[in-house]
């Protein structure tokens, strides 16, 4: 007899890699573009860092980017697992949340405002859980508008 599959560690690891790796790489690309743009205006690296961290638009953009990759990571985990989609997406979110909390002490105290970290930590799980809903267009499982 075939036993039903219960959990796919591989799916969760792939989803987590998409979330963490995608957020990291996209942040680097955006940071390089922003730095290149601002350095042409004659800013020093210290001024550049201060300007970007103090720019609410830039910080919100980074937050949206990170949360978008959380949703994508949940989606990928669900698609790879092909069963218990929400469990796999949620597991991906928990790994990414733990990773963020564990690496928090490594970040510079002035790296990002506290509200950025709080909002990101609160929304990472709902965003990852929303990911599997994007994989289907069925009204009962998909995202619907009122």
Per residue in 25-71, pLDDT tens? 998 999 888 888 888 888 888 888 788 878 888 889 999 999 999 99
Instruction: Count Cβ neighbours within 10 Å for each residue of 15-43 and write b for 16 or more, e otherwise.
Output: bbbbbbebbeeeeeeeeeebbeebeeeeb
Residue 3 in tokens:
């036993």
Residue-level pLDDT at 12: 97
What's the pTM value of the predicted model, to 2 decimals?
A: 0.81
Q: DSSP string covering 15-69, please?
A: HHHHHHHHHHHHHHHHHHHHHHHHHTTT--HHHHHHHHHH-HHHHHHHHHHHHHH
pLDDT at 46: 81
- Is the pLDDT at 83 greater than 80? The verdict is yes
Predicted pLDDT at 58: 86
């Amino acid at each position: 007899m075939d036993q039903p599959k219960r959990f796919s560690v591989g799916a969760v690891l792939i989803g987590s890699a998409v979330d963490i790796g995608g957020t990291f790489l996209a942040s680097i690309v955006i940071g390089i573009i922003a730095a290149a743009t601002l350095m042409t205006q004659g800013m020093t690296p210290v001024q550049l860092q201060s300007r970007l961290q103090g720019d609410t638009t830039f910080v919100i953009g980074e937050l949206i980017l990170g949360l978008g990759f959380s949703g994508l990571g949940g989606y990928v985990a669900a698609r790879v697992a092909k069963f218990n989609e929400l469990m796999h997406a949620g597991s991906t979110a928990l790994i990414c949340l733990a990773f963020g909390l564990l690496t928090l002490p490594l970040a510079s105290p002035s790296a990002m405002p506290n509200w950025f970290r709080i909002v990101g930590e609160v929304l990472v799980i709902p965003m990852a859980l929303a990911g599997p809903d994007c994989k289907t267009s069925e009204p009962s499982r998909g995202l619907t508008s009122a």
